[in-house]
Amino acid sequence: MAKIELIATTTFGLEAVVKREVQNLGYTDITVADGKVTFTADEKAIARANLWLRSADRLLLKIGEFNAFTFDELFERTKALPWGNWITRDAKFDVNGKSVKSQLFSISDCQAIVKKAVVEKLKQKYMTDWFEETGPESTIQVALLHNTATLTIDTSGVGLHKRGYRQAAGEAPLKETLAAALVQLSYWRKERILLDPFCGSGTIPIEAAMIGRNIAPGLNRKFASEKWPMIEKNLWKEARIEAFNAIDQDTPIKIFASDKDEKVIEVAKENAAQAGVDDCIKFSVKPFSQVKIKEKYGVVITNPPYGERLGSQEEIAELYQTMGKTFKEEPTWSVYVITPYEKFENVYRKKANRKRKLYNGNIKVDFYQYYGERPPKEQSF
């Protein structure tokens, strides 16, 4: 099977997480840059990576990369690439683009030139001047960075954060891909208790349960490249069977999730059922003031309210201060909090062991990590 290059795009700050996910799939020829993880694999990796990548935004098939300082260079070098290997005679395709610090800064012009170049190449390939565009859809991306053009085809279609389980979401929802990354950045393991006292529509506990159960996040959805005739159907079938057989149905998972909003808890329960992990999570309606920590060596991962979700700056500070007092009472627990509130450590009254800058959509956030005492070795956590 021929080797291909794939690019897993990612939100800034999550490159190391996505790299680890790619490695866990068995791929080793990996390079990392801002916002992307590139790796060499075979065609089956298109199916496996789409099914399994939890924290990546999309999976792109790299067609070529070259320097382009003029529109003529962009046209000729795009036309020279093997588009006919991946785009069928009846395919419908669009071109998206972006340009950063390049001489070719007009994105619309770059898109038009790439589209024209691909059409000319396909005319040569299929010896025709007319394309019906009734077949499988493809999205070509042209990304220019410092005058280097990278040409790719999107294999995912709808973004990878769309797992298929979230029918509705509360205010300021956390992306599923980011929630999965938070869990993987923590010290939580499926043998330990997990608590999210501000669970909203349930994204963090659901993603944690899927990780604990080893459920491939893309198992219940479709991808654009599934309709590409050049990828054998049995590769997708084999990848889905592999993912289904990998599910852990035996390990008991204890996740507790709560929120003061009864309606949003009902949404969270429905989302968990859609994801097939409702047996792993105990949801309850309660304000944070009623949250009690009884067992030891648990993990808190949460996205507490801020801004319009809560109210005034005074209310935010008061809540975060209460959180600090509550979690201070149990030093064996590890606490992970994501928030855009820049004074969090001050009002929480404790400096984080580690702080990581991330983005939730366009919102800059920090992930504060407080490490609790290590569990006794005999507990094998």
pLDDT at res. 39: 98
The band of 374, judged by pLDDT with boundaries at 50, 70 and 90, is confident
Q: Stretch 73-98: mean pLDDT, rounded?
A: 95
pLDDT at res. 361: 86
Enumerate the domain spans of the chain.
4-154, 176-215+224-379
- Specify the CATH class of 4-154 in words: alpha beta
53-69 tens-digit pLDDT: 999 999 999 999 999 99
Rg of the chain in Å (alpha carbons):
23
Q: Stretch 223-233: mean pLDDT, rounded?
A: 94
pLDDT at res. 307: 65
In the numeric block, which tokens belong to residue 21? Answer: 């996910």
The band of 1, judged by pLDDT with boundaries at 50, 70 and 90, is low
Q: What is the pTM of this model?
A: 0.93
Q: Stretch 326-353: mean pLDDT, rounded?
A: 94
Helix (H) or strand (E) holding 206: helix 203-213
CB-based contacts of 237: which residues, under 8 Å, 6+ apart?
none
pLDDT at res. 173: 76
Rounded CA gap, 267 and 167, in Å?
Answer: 8
Does domain 176-215+224-379 sit in CATH 3.90.1150.200? no
294-336 tens-digit pLDDT: 889 999 999 998 765 555 778 888 999 999 999 998 899 999 9
> What is the CB neighbour count within 10 angstroms for residue 275?
25
pLDDT at res. 308: 54
Helix 71-79 with 107-126: angle, nearest 10 deg: 30
Question: Hey, is 166 helix, strand or coil?
Answer: coil
pLDDT at 31 over 90: yes
In the numeric block, which tokens belong to residue 329? Answer: 């009472």
269-296 tens-digit pLDDT: 999 999 999 999 999 999 999 998 888 9
For 160-194, b/e burial (b = at least 16 CB within 10 A) is bbbbebbeebbebbbbbbbbbbbbbbbebebebbb
